[in-house]
Amino acid sequence: MSFPWGVGSATGVGSYPGRDTAEALRIVLGELPELPHLPELPARGPGADLIGRSAGLLVDLAVHVEPSGWRFSDRPGRDTRRSLDHLARDLDVLEEVAHAHDGPFKIQVCGPWTLAAGIELRHGDRALRDPGAVRDLTASLAEGVARHVADVRRRLPGARVLLQIDEPALPAALAGTVPTASGFSRLRAVEAPLAEDGLRQVIEAAGDVFTVVHCCARRVPYALLRGAGAGAVSVDLRLLPERDDDAVGETIDAGVGLFLGVVPGTDTALPALEATAAPVRDLWRRLGFPAARLAEQVVITPACGLAEASPRYVRAALKRCRDTARMLYEAAG
């Protein structure tokens, strides 16, 4: 096994509070030097949120904001330009602040199935309802993600770029529990082979880049994510029931990395360091893998994004992730 991060690493998931990209990025670089990432700031409004940010990457597909959320448009307008402007400013700041970074660096985009569940067609139904619309969206996203990765590599020439694909809605799409636009019904379940193919298309389009798929939901489809080509899977450890142990064990045995969310994403009194690390040790002990592999194959993260947290808590949460990763590494040695 060979992973792009060092042993005992920690990172963030994506979102942060506030509106100052430079300040958020400096915090990330200071607290998570082994595996920093580009923070996302949804407090800036439409176009900085999970759906709008990645909708701005779509090639030849425009979107705008309705009271119900994001919707496809006939042509680019103010909301599409706002998404592009947010991302362009973030990348300019990234180049200015982190140009000399020469280690692994993670960026995040929304996956095709969560994007299809979050954008409406022109007549109001979710794109997920229309197989043709999903195919067009997936192809457009794949092309946009490839361009985005290339742009980040150009701005960080010494870094090893990791791509995180956020798919929180994928389990619901597979289970047929995504609500229709009206909320009175549910969309038909997406077949697993089709979901795997769509995700694989985006992963392969990104080229020679290590890919992490993040799914902070229950019923994570581990086998599907492996089949699509994910190099690592990112999950909330609190939502990982023991009945998933076999699927998690198969994922680890296949050489796939595991990003474990162990620190709450909103303000709370953090317990002792040992209490934060204990669930990770318990999982590894149940799975029966050698202790030395834990620090190599597992990256410690917050449970999900930190957009709703206070700035003070963000620093404490990131420090706790790093300290937990270090403790697990030292204990394994």
The answer to whether the predicted template modeling score (pTM) of the entire model surpasses 0.95 is: yes
Average pLDDT on 209-220 reads: 96
Query: pLDDT tens-digit profile of 237-287?
Result: 999 988 999 999 999 999 999 999 999 999 999 999 999 999 999 999 999
Q: Is the pLDDT of residue 178 over 70?
A: yes
Average pLDDT on 185-213 reads: 97
Other beta carbons within 10 Å of 272 = 8
Is the distance from CB of 153 to CB of 86 less than 8 angstroms? no
Q: Is the pLDDT of residue 333 over 70?
A: no
Q: Is the pLDDT of residue 327 over 70?
A: yes
Q: Which amino acid is at 155?
A: R
Query: pLDDT tens-digit profile of 299-324?
Result: 999 999 999 999 999 999 999 999 99
Query: pLDDT tens-digit profile of 4-39?
Result: 999 999 999 999 999 999 999 999 999 999 999 999
160: CB partners within 8 A, 6+ apart = 4, 103, 104, 105, 210
The confidence score (pLDDT) of residue 1 equals 66
Give the angle subtended at the CA of 266 by the CAs of 36 and 21, to the nearest 5°: 40
Q: Quote the percentage of the chain above a pLDDT of 70.
A: 99
- Alpha-carbon gap, residue 57 to 51, rounded angstroms: 10
Helix, strand, coil in percent for the chain, rounding step 5? 50, 15, 35
Mean residue pLDDT of the chain comes to 96
Q: Is the pLDDT of residue 331 over 90?
A: no
24-61 per-residue burial string, b: 16 or more CB within 10 A, e: under 16: bbebbeebbebbbbbbbbbebebbbbbbbbbbbbbeeb
- Alpha-carbon gap, residue 331 to 329, rounded angstroms: 5
